[in-house]
Each structure stands twice: as structure tokens, then as C-alpha cells.
Amino acid sequence: MTTVMGICRSFRDRAFARFFHCFPCLSDPARRSSWGLKVTLVMLHLIFVGILFVFDGDLIEKTKKEPWYTALYLLLLLATLVQYFITSSSSPGYVVDVMRAVNETNVIYQKSSMASKQPASSQNGSLNVVIEGSQSGRNFQGSNPSSWTKLVMDMYPPGTSIRSCTCSYCNVEQPPRAKHCHDCDKCVLQFDHHCVWLGSCVGQDNHCKFWWYICEETALCLWTGILYIMYLKANISRPWWKDAIMILLLIALSISIIFLLLLLLFHSYLVLTNQTTYELVRRRRIPYLRRIPERVYPFSKGICRNLYNFCCVRSSIYSLEPLPSSQELEEKARPYTCLDILTCRCC
């Protein structure tokens, strides 16, 4: 008996080793879990939509008469799944990648300056690091670059210790709004949260993609819920167990719709005020946000510019925001007047 179990175990280990050799991306337990969640989410979509087409004969008849209606619904389903995989596979913007790019450009600049007195931007123009702010607004594109440490320290108030800005896990200097993610084991620019369903963080580079995914998922769930209700309201004799299945699925769908609507509204509020979930929830624990009043949004540049930066700035641009000065905070904390409204101060 022991020999048989040993043979079975050995055969199983060889089978798994061969499988992981063919699919090396699944050898990591974290990646297997992430892919398992992705498959589960796709299957849930197919189940909710598939059962609707299997049970609802009226929907089939409507598809024959008005194929555009079902085509739009299936197109929304496809767009939602595509957006999900685009969001889950995109980088949130890791600090170490920006640091490496800045330091490499600095080295190239120094070498090119020694070889010829031309700026390094002519040889390495792909890097684009924007340091925002009224006082230090400048574009770092290879010309006159600085080291990463100097760039980060310039974004903090004078006298800030470099130790307080250095991540104890990655050992890299964190710019403001960056945070170390223990699941990804990397520091993320403008860290929002680690999404379990995506299997990755939501940060500066993929927050816009995440918002669009939530928007598409909410629209798909609302449309599916309407089709479920139309099926249950139809006066057609059918087995009771079909109605029971549809009611249970509709209850689960209703809970998902409520959650998605709240999540969409919450992230829309964050976008309009240029905040992140981490900054809003842990404001009292973030050193540079503790002394700022609750209703003052230190990184907000007005609704219009916040929307523009969120939606229209290319993902290849790394945007680093320095901490606002005391004068800027006083201006943001100043109450609105009728003149401010007429001059569109909030925008």
C-alpha cells in the first residue's frame, strides 16, 4: 500500500513539474491564485448571461426581430471583459521603474556631456517625468537631469530626513503619495488599493482604466438586471424551478449593482478631488496629511484639471506631485465666495 501511494505521489509530482514547465507563469502560487480569480470572474459573467439566453425564449425572439439590441448587449459584455483584462495586466506605476529610468537617464546625460556638449534628450527622449506644482513645476525629459534621491527630496519640505522618505522594504526613496504594497512587494506611485479581483494594485498608471472597468461593469449589471426583471414579469407558464433560479441570481445581481454603484460614485469623488482611497482612509496616519484639515484637498488642482490629468495624460508620463506649500494650503482652505464661483475657482 505504501509503495502504491509513493508511486502515485511520484507520478503526480512529475505531472505537475511537466505542467509548470509548459506553463511557467503558473508555477508561482500567487499567479495561480490570480488566474483562478480571473477564470472565476469570466465564468460568473458567462453564467449570468448564458442562463438568461437559455431560459428566456422571448429574448431569443426579440433577437431575431431586433438583432441590434442583443448585439449591443453582447458587445458591452465583451468590452467589459476586455477592459478587465487590460486593467489587470497593466502596471500601476512602480516607484522602482521610475527611479531606474531617472538614474539611467542621468548616467546617459553625464556620459553625453563628457563626450559632447549636447543634451542627453536628443539621445534618450523616451523618458518623461513631470514634477507638478506651482513652485517646482518642471519637465524632466533627459535635459539637465538630477539623481532620483535629489528629485524626491526636492518634493518634500526643507529639512525632511531622507530616512523618513525611504521605504524599509524596497530601500528606495518614496515620492509623496507613494506607498509600499505588501501583496505586490513593490512601492506604487499614487497608491490607491490592492484589488483582489484584479490581482494587482491600482495606482497612478491604471486608475483610469480601473474607473472605466467599474463603469462598464455597472452598466452591464444594470442591463442584465433589467432583462432578468422583464423575464420574471412576463406572463408565461414555466417550471417553478426556473423562476427560483432567476430570483436567486437576481438577488445576487442586485447586491453587485449596489456595490458597484457605490464604488463608482466613491472613485468618481476621488477623481474630482485628486485623492486616493489610501489617502482618504488613512489620512490621520500619513505624516504629511495629519495637520491638514479634513475638507482641504492638498493635491487638487480644480475639478477640470483633475479630470484632464486623470483621463487625458498619457500613461508613459510619470507625474510626481510635490507637497503643497503652506501658502498653497491656505489658499485651498479659504472659503468660497460669490466671486470665486463666478471666476470658476473650483475648476
> The C-alpha cell of 296 is what?
482641504
Q: Are 125 and 101 in contact (CB under 8 A)?
A: no
Query: Is residue 103 helix, strand or coil?
Result: helix
* Long-range Cβ contacts of 29-37 (<8 Å, 24+ apart): 30/183, 33/199, 34/88, 34/199, 34/200, 35/199, 37/196, 37/197, 37/199
User: What is the model's pLDDT at position 253?
Assistant: 95
d(C-alpha 297, C-alpha 190), whole Å: 15
Give tens-digit pLDDT for 242-276: 889 999 999 999 999 999 999 999 999 999 999 99
User: What is the model's pLDDT at position 125?
Assistant: 44
Picking from 251, 238, 252, 245, the residue whose alpha carbon sits closest to that of residue 57 is 238
Picking from 337, 330, 346, 345, the residue whose alpha carbon sits closest to that of residue 292 is 330
Give tens-digit pLDDT for 185-194: 999 999 999 9
Domain regions of the chain by residue span:
26-92+201-342
Q: Are 319 and 309 in contact (CB under 8 A)?
A: yes
Between 295 and 85, the higher pLDDT residue: 85
Give tens-digit pLDDT for 24-66: 544 555 566 778 888 999 999 999 999 999 988 888 888 888 8
The pTM of the full predicted model, rounded to 2 decimals, is 0.83
Q: Are 87 and 210 in contact (CB under 8 A)?
A: yes
Q: Are 187 and 167 in contact (CB under 8 A)?
A: yes
In the chain, % of residues over pLDDT 70: 76
Q: Which of 165, 187, 195, 221 is catalytic?
A: 195
Catalytic residue status for 195 = yes
Q: Are 104 and 140 in contact (CB under 8 A)?
A: no
Count the Cβ atoms, other than its own, within 10 Å of residue 203.
Answer: 30
* φ, ψ (nearest 5 deg) of residue 95: -60, -40
User: What is the model's pLDDT at position 62?
Assistant: 84
Greatest CA separation for the chain: 88
